[in-house]
Amino acid sequence: MIEVKDLHKSFGDAHILKGITTSFAKGKTNLIIGQSGSGKTVFLKCLLGLFEYEKGSISYDGKIFSKLSPDEKRALRAEIGMVFQGSALFDSMTIAENVMFPLRMFTKQSKSEMEDRVNVVLNRVNLPDAHKKMPSEASGGMQKRVAIARAIVNRPKYLFCDEPNSGLDPKTAIVIDNLIQEITDEFDITTVINSHDMNSVMEIGEKIVFLKDGLKAWEGSNETIFRTDNEVVTDFVYSSNLFKKVRKMYLEERN
């Protein structure tokens, strides 16, 4: 579990995060959502330890990150997997070499051990024959699956995903959502996803934290977001005509 208490972050005179308190449960897909400028990217980077913050605390299974020694922080980072928005694969490396990279960084495994682990995770993301391909030879959906394989290759306890469906067509986006959900359940990972994709919210949002102007405006799940009377949330969720119709149908069924 990741616990956040009264988190504040500023850049100069700009107060970006204004006292966020929440938690992200183990074995759940936890989504951070909000409009552009709401603070969700800054929040994610604080969770990852990329930004220092002025006030509050972030703890990983009871260990407060800011109080850890450099060696303890390095050990914790080895337990974190990250799926970047643009996949962030190394163009000069094969897909197998990209996936192996965290093992080379954080472990002392032999080459054969690393190759075996790469085989396991590439099979898990349904890319059993992609080892020798270059990223430029892979579609956007394949690149996302490679990024997920790289993120889980070191058996992380925590998985972070920054807009994992960015640039994907709706059908492929659902495949990626389902894969992240399956991996979270299968390996009992604490998964945190930064997203603006309402399909992801509805499909895999077991825990949803909605940010507005650096504040936690609402939290709940994909089961409760339809029922909320929070006007800020409903304005965001039902901004499109399609979701307005969905909400109308839902409310009619309730009545």
CA distance 208 to 220: 5
Domain positions in the chain: 2-226
Between CA 122 and CA 202 the distance in angstroms is: 27
DSSP line for 63-109: EEGGGS-HHHHHHHHTTEEEE-TT----TTS-HHHHHHHHHHHH---
Q: What would the two tokens of residue 68 be?
A: 């850890």
Q: What percent of the chain has pLDDT over 70?
A: 94
pLDDT at residue 221, as a whole number: 92
User: pTM for the complete prediction?
Assistant: 0.88
How much is the pLDDT for 61?
Answer: 94
Q: Which residue has the higher pLDDT, 166 or 79?
A: 79
pLDDT confidence of residue 197: 82
- Burial class (CB within 10 angstroms; exposed 0-12, middle 13-18, buried 19+) of 22: middle
Tokens read off for 165: 């469906």
Output the CA–CA distances (angstroms, integers) from residue 235 to 34, 199, 212, 249, in the order listed: 11, 16, 12, 17
The secondary structure of 97-134 as a DSSP string is HHHHHHHHHH----HHHHHHHHHHHHHHTT-TT-TT--
pLDDT at 54 over 90: yes
Q: What is the pLDDT of residues 6-22, one digit of tens each?
A: 999 999 999 999 999 99
Do residues 131 and 118 make contact, with C-beta atoms less than 8 angstroms apart?
A: yes
pLDDT value for 107: 87
Class of domain 2-226: alpha beta
Q: Which tokens sit at 149?
A: 């394989």
Q: What is the 3-state secondary structure (H, E, C) of 126-169?
A: CCCCCCCCCHHHCCHHHHHHHHHHHHHCCCCCEEEEECCCCCCC
Residue indicated by tokens 């390095």: 74
Per-residue pLDDT tens for 188-212?
Answer: 999 999 988 888 888 889 999 999 9
**Residue owning tokens 């759940």:** 28
In the DSSP assignment, the letter for residue 209 is E
Whole-number Å distance between alpha carbons of 206 and 193: 11
Task: Give residue 83's pLDDT.
Answer: 92
